Amino acid sequence: MQKIPLRPVRAITFDLYGTLLDLVASFASGFDEFLNAKGFSGSVDDVVVAWEASYLHESNVDSLLGRPRTPFEIVRRVTLSQLFHKLKIAHNKDDIEQLVTTKATPTLFPDVKEHLTRLQSLGRYQMSLLSNGDLESLDRAVSGLGIPVDSAISAEQAGYYKPHARVYQHAIKELGLPGDRVLHVAAHAWDIRGARATGMAGAYINRNDIPYVDVDGSQADLEVPGLGELADRLTQT
């Protein structure tokens, strides 16, 4: 798969969870308090990361079942309970609800606001979230965290979860542009692979120094360690 030139790009979509939103910073404090009270001696950060992997797996299963999409907030709660069962951590429904809501402190990565604002100030790009999150949650995140984007596009609107092609196709339709005029930005190689497979350009934010892997040997159209470097490259394009 050939790389797509970035100069013609006129819209940028950003993944939220793990790309703009720091999941460990958002949930570790609440998890730490709860798990310590349960006598858990493992790494709290690892539990948050395992939960993320679990709800990614479940959302992919959900897309394959051929039934209406299960809301993301339900997927997150069910998979957290499943993970606690696996770890032999006693819990109830109220514990799960509190960990996901009142004990969470949604936190953006430090490079988000400054560098998305830089990109927005260019006046060149439509900027949107493109997330597996439910639309209501995304709108709340944009307003509550002050994320400098113009709109939120949810997998909910497509009826599937990323990396299903329908999600990216819906985003392209919403933006009213050819796929190669849209750049999707994510810290997950699987998300970039999904976007590129539907004709979008893809920028891989390699926050954790994890090599980008696609079985066909192709690479992301752009790979940078953070949003500052993304803004630098697009400003120079």
Tally Cβ neighbours within 10 Å of residue 225: 14
Kindly report, residue by residue over 97-148, the tens digit of the pLDDT: 999 999 999 999 999 999 999 999 999 999 999 999 999 999 999 999 999 9
**Distances 156 to 134, 147, 223 between C-alpha atoms, Å:** 6, 20, 28
- The span from the CA of 202 to the CA of 123, in Å, is 20
In 3-state terms, what secondary structure has residue 34? helix
Whether pLDDT at 237 is above 90 = no
Whether pLDDT at 58 is above 80 = yes
What are the phi and psi torsion angles at 208 (to 5°)? -115, 20
- The span from the CA of 176 to the CA of 235, in Å, is 23
Dig out the tokens for 91 from the structure: 């819990």
Q: Which of 32, 30, 53 lies closest to 44 in space, CA to CA?
A: 32
The residue written with tokens 């709109």 in the block is 151
